[in-house]
Amino acid sequence: DSGVTQTPKHLITATGQRVTLRCSPRSGDLSVYWYQQSLDQGLQFLIHYYNGEERAKGNILERFSAQQFPDLHSELNLSSLELGDSALYFCASSSQRTGAIQYFGAGTRLSVL
Amino acid sequence: AQTVTQSQPEMSVQEAETVTLSCTYDTSENNYYLFWYKQPPSRQMILVIRQEAYKQQNATENRFSVNFQKAAKSFSLKISDSQLGDTAMYFCAFMAYSGGGADGLTFGKGTHLIIQP
């Protein structure tokens, strides 16, 4: 158990809909990262939040957004969903005391039908 | 932008053998980390080993060790005495670390390692 909690485990929705994925980082970790894993694109970094502030953006679509709340949990919002958004979405957390090691949650499997 | 290349899509070895997975990367950054992550059929991403670029000594974790060649931008993973539980996808990953904070991981496409009984 990595200590990173992601909910829900599975999500099935339709094209055009909006969903929210939730991540609770390990206790004390200030950094949260979001990744997308798909057959086409492999594992891709989406966005990094540190203590509530956005720190880095990767290949995140404009239809996607994220935020980190004062209790350090983070949410990834995906809107106007397309079939190609079907993927496994991972959240990871890290802290300076762990030497930048990112610990991953179990992921949320999103299926867009 | 960084790139990570894993040239072996799939490898298969017998239990107890030693296997080496290859990884090369390209970057203009000076401060960075390199990682190997394992993804078993459960899909959980598990850290195998980490290497800081400024350290010349190769990292080791029990049966896992790396051969880090900074000038050649090469970062291979050696698994000794392989076990059935080592069967998984293995991803090489790069992360730059600037003064303003860490960027995300850049992953290779992965190597599917199969350990045969």
pLDDT, tens digit (0-9, with 9 covering 90-100), for A12-66: 999 999 999 999 999 989 999 999 999 888 999 999 999 999 999 998 999 999 9
Q: Answer whether B110 sits within 8 Å of A42, measured CB to CB.
A: yes
Q: Which of A36, A41, A60, A102 to mutate to test the interface with B (most CBs of B within 10 A)?
A: A102
Residue A29: the pLDDT is 93
Q: Does residue B65 sit in helix, strand or coil?
A: strand
Q: Look at residue B99 and tell me whether its pLDDT is greater than 70.
A: no
Which residue among A42, A45, A101 places its CB closest to the CB of B104?
A: A45
Q: Which residues of A touch B101 (CB under 8 A)?
A: 31, 48, 50, 55-56
Q: Which of B39, B60, B63 is nearest to B49 (CA)?
A: B60
Q: Which residues of B touch A48 (CB under 8 A)?
A: 101-104
Task: Please check whether residue A47 is in contact with residue A57, taking contact to mean a CB–CB distance below 8 angstroms.
Answer: yes
Residue A53 CA to residue A47 CA, distance in Å, equals: 11
The owner of tokens 């960084």 is B2
Q: Answer whether B102 sits within 8 Å of A42, measured CB to CB.
A: no
Q: Answer whether B104 sits within 8 Å of A42, measured CB to CB.
A: no
Q: Which residues of B touch A33 (CB under 8 A)?
A: 104-105
Residue A95 CA to residue A30 CA, distance in Å, equals: 6
Q: Look at residue B89 and tell me whether its pLDDT is greater than 70.
A: yes
